[in-house]
Amino acid sequence: MSIKTILLHVNDERRVAGLIDAAAHVATRYESHLTGLYVMPPVPTLGATSLGASLIKSGLAQFRAEAKRVQMAFEDACKGRPFVAEWRLADARHQGVAETVMEHGRAADLIIAGQRDKSFDFTHLLDVPERLAIESGRPVLIVPWAGRFASFGKRVTVAWNGRREAARAVFDALPLLKAADNVRIIWVNPQKDQVKAGDLPTAEIASTLARHGVRCEAASTVASDIRVGDALLSGLTDDGSDLLVMGAYGHSRLREFVFGGATRHILDHMTVPVLMSH
Amino acid sequence: MTYKTILLHLHDIGRADRLLQAAIPLARDMNAHLTALAVVPPYIVVPGDSGASVTIDEHRDVYRGDMVKLKQMFTETTAGQPLKAEWREADAGFFTVANIICDHGRCADLIIASQSDPKWVSSSLIEDPVHVAMDSGRPVVLIPNAGSTSLVPKRVTIAWNGRREAARAVFDAMPLLTAAKDVNVVWINPEKEQYLAGDLPAAEICAALARHGIKAQASQASATGSDFGPELLRQAKVFGSDLLVMGCYGHSRLREFILGGATRHVLGHMGLPVLLAH
């Protein structure tokens, strides 16, 4: 299967170039239909005073102007590329930005979003990539806010722990894994004993992937005192991996999400694009 | 993409023929590795007369005898077939059979299991297709206790409501959709319900399927809450479907899964194979 429909969430004009780089890399390989989406934030419910109304009006006007600039940047960056590009402007109405992106992403093979830039203090965008990873039902490729990724996925690290979310992520990533030169499947073993190669818990998933023609190797990492997230990140550097595939762990509590420690750590400190699924 | 690794839960001598009739042609078609897994049911722990608990395991010995027969049936029907067949046995111990199926199934492209039959004496100890659908992270195809067993479907009905589970099911079913001649995406319009995320028109998922070379038509039906399940099955029948694809809706509460009404109805009354995903 290939990635034929991609939804790219672009709400920040400073990120357009970086996000298009990454999206174009995937869209070019699979001749996908790439949809760029800007979401007008939900209208804040202020009191019905004329002051409130004019603040809202000017705020919306600013977002509308940004949307136009993002659209132009998107269309410029896609000109002459070997894939179909579609632009969409949506309104969050009374739901959040994340919900709106998800609606548009339900029929996509892949959603691409930018890692949250913590210095960017627009609350309406606060939790978008993580909520997409957990709630959208589609795989989400999160692009780090630092760095440019016009090409990635030559050497892939897959974080495997035998759980449901890891299974989701691995099979969602299959088109990308098949395109890689090498896929390293690691089981981050929080104990101090080494595991014999034949007993590797990653052996079975490696066999399944090999049947799909994925060039993969089963490995394990011992993370005695360092946390799983740290172990994953340093492993990426050691291996020269340029893409990480992992399950997104978390659950909702009321309307907030509680993320697993490793998921949270990667979301905050990722150095390469990360494909997450739940 | 095709399914390259299929896990079949063989559990009941009385229904093994039907399960094998379903699994073998599919595995052959896809040139897949077919693993049949039989699982010894868990110990039963009950309060004893003197206050201490009693662990019952006679039923496990009886079942081990059944497993010999199941293995024989599997070996005989796969002998000489152009596919890789593997027999596996596992023991639920103090876990559940569903837990074990999930553990093995997480490394498979597809899990095949039976619709449960409350009249089967071992049903409550051995069958829990809902748990497998909810926790495996993989698509689960259930074979009905009566009706069609074909997993090389010509006509497929997809239940679409724009939610994440429906998206999961559609994309998980891709290899089966690709092989089918006609695909009908049914959007069941909920009357009296709020205009929620389920307002995504079926047209968009049809466009996404078309990009994968799948010719799908969109249709709409109407039903109120408790009629969703029956209406879905009716639509599938009217279309002459060999397979129904739908999301598995529910949530976990402590250690059980609470099913949505439509899912529950379909699982209780299905006359055709159903692919579930969560």
Report whether B277 contacts B172 (CB < 8 A).
Answer: yes
Confidence check: pLDDT of A190 > 90: no
How do residues B35-58 score in pLDDT, each as one tens digit?
999 999 999 998 888 878 889 999
Residues A254 and A24: their CA atoms lie apart, in Å, by 37
For an interface test with B, the pick among A1, A106, A131 (most B C-beta atoms closer than 10 Å) comes out as A106
- A163 interfacial to chain B (CB closer than 8 Å): yes
Among residues 3-42 of chain B, which lie with CB inside 8 Å of chain A? Answer: 4-5, 32-33
Q: Comparing A233-237, A270-274, B73-77, B249-253, which segment has the lowest mean pLDDT?
A: B249-253
B145 by DSSP, 3-state: which? coil
Residues A9 and A92: their CA atoms lie apart, in Å, by 13
What tokens appear for B140 in the block?
A: 């689960």
On chain B, the residues whose CB falls within 8 A of the CB of A135 are: 164
pLDDT of residue A199: 54
Confidence check: pLDDT of A195 > 60: no
On chain A, the residues whose CB falls within 8 A of the CB of B133 are: none
Residues A265 and A95: their CA atoms lie apart, in Å, by 27
pLDDT of residue B191: 53
Give the mean model confidence (pLDDT) for residues B240-260.
Answer: 83
Please tell me the distance in Å from A51's CA to the nearest CA on chain B.
31
Single-letter amino acid, residue B41:
P
Task: Work out whether the CA dihedral A276, B1, B4, B10 comes out positive or negative.
Answer: positive
A164's torsion region: left (phi>0), alpha (psi -120 to 50) or beta? alpha
Position B250 confidence tier, pLDDT thresholds 50, 70, 90: confident
Instruction: Report the mean per-residue pLDDT for chain B.
Output: 92
The answer to whether the CB atoms of B197 and A171 lie below 8 A apart is: no
Angle at B144 (CA atoms; ends B143, B146), nearest 5 degrees: 135
The answer to whether the CB atoms of B137 and A4 lie below 8 A apart is: no
Give the mean model confidence (pLDDT) for residues A15-30.
Answer: 95
How do residues A89-115 score in pLDDT, each as one tens digit?
999 877 889 999 999 999 999 999 999
Instruction: Give percent of chain A with pLDDT exceeding 90.
Output: 60
pLDDT of residue A182: 97
The residue whose two tokens read 């249709």 is B219
The answer to whether the CB atoms of B1 and A33 lie below 8 A apart is: no
Confidence check: pLDDT of A157 > 80: yes
Position B261 confidence tier, pLDDT thresholds 50, 70, 90: confident
B264/A222: higher pLDDT:
B264
Q: Comparing A43-47, A269-273, B102-106, B109-113, which segment has the lowest mean pLDDT?
A: A43-47
Instruction: Give percent of chain A with pLDDT exceeding 70.
Output: 85
- In terms of average pLDDT, the best of A230-239, B78-87, B188-197 is B78-87
pLDDT of residue A197: 44
Residues A110 and A134: their CA atoms lie apart, in Å, by 14
Full 3-state SS string of chain A = CCCCEEEEECCCHHHHHHHHHHHHHHHHHHCCEEEEEEEECCCCCCCCCHHHHHHHHHHHHHHHHHHHHHHHHHHHHHCCCCCEEEEEEEECCCCCHHHHHHHHHCCCCEEEEECCCCCCCCHHHCCHHHHHHHHCCCCEEEECCCCCCCCCCCEEEEECCCCHHHHHHHHHCHHHHHHCCEEEEEEEECCCCCCCHHHCCCHHHHHHHHHCCCCEEEEEEECCCCCHHHHHHHHHHHHCCCEEEEECCEEEECCEEEECHHHHHHHHHCCCCEEEEC
Task: Work out whether the CA dihedral A19, A212, B2, B19 comes out positive or negative.
Answer: negative
- A174 interfacial to chain B (CB closer than 8 Å): yes
How do residues A32-41 score in pLDDT, each as one tens digit?
999 999 999 8
- B212 interfacial to chain A (CB closer than 8 Å): yes
Report whether A17 contacts A78 (CB < 8 A).
Answer: no
**Closest C-alpha to A9, from A124, A75, A89:** A89
What tokens appear for A115 in the block?
A: 């890692």
* Minimal Cβ distance to B208: which of A5, A165, A207: A5
pLDDT of residue B197: 40
Q: Tell me, what's the ipTM?
A: 0.92
For an interface test with B, the pick among A131, A140, A171 (most B C-beta atoms closer than 10 Å) comes out as A171
The answer to whether the CB atoms of B137 and A5 lie below 8 A apart is: no
On chain B, the residues whose CB falls within 8 A of the CB of A32 are: 211
B33 CB-contact burial (10 Å; exposed 0-12 / middle 13-18 / buried 19+): buried
What tokens appear for B259 in the block?
A: 């099913």
The answer to whether the CB atoms of A204 and B107 lie below 8 A apart is: yes
Confidence check: pLDDT of B126 > 90: yes
Give the mean model confidence (pLDDT) for residues B214-243.
Answer: 90
pLDDT of residue A121: 57
Please tell me the distance in Å from A119's CA to the nearest CA on chain B.
31
CB pairs under 8 A between A and B: 87
- In terms of average pLDDT, the best of A45-49, B189-193, B194-198 is B189-193
Position A49 confidence tier, pLDDT thresholds 50, 70, 90: low
Element (H, E) at B77: helix B58-78
The answer to whether the CB atoms of A138 and B102 lie below 8 A apart is: no
- A33 interfacial to chain B (CB closer than 8 Å): yes
Beta-bridge partners for A39: A90
pLDDT of residue A46: 46
Residues B130 and B136: their CA atoms lie apart, in Å, by 10
The answer to whether the CB atoms of A1 and B108 lie below 8 A apart is: no
Confidence check: pLDDT of B205 > 70: yes
- B96 interfacial to chain A (CB closer than 8 Å): no
A76/A229: higher pLDDT:
A76
pLDDT of residue B198: 40
Please tell me the distance in Å from B48's CA to the nearest CA on chain A.
36
The answer to whether the CB atoms of A212 and B197 lie below 8 A apart is: no
- B107 interfacial to chain A (CB closer than 8 Å): yes
pLDDT of residue B194: 44
Residues A231 and A218: their CA atoms lie apart, in Å, by 16
A276/B224: higher pLDDT:
A276
On chain A, the residues whose CB falls within 8 A of the CB of B204 are: 106-107
Give the mean model confidence (pLDDT) for residues B57-66.
Answer: 96
pTM of the model: 0.93
* Minimal Cβ distance to B168: which of A137, A167, A204: A137
- In terms of average pLDDT, the best of A53-62, A64-73, A263-272 is A64-73
The answer to whether the CB atoms of B174 and A207 lie below 8 A apart is: no
Residues A33 and A152: their CA atoms lie apart, in Å, by 19
Confidence check: pLDDT of B192 > 60: no
A215/B262: higher pLDDT:
A215
Confidence check: pLDDT of A253 > 80: no
The answer to whether the CB atoms of B207 and A107 lie below 8 A apart is: yes
Residues A22 and A34: their CA atoms lie apart, in Å, by 12
Confidence check: pLDDT of B200 > 60: no
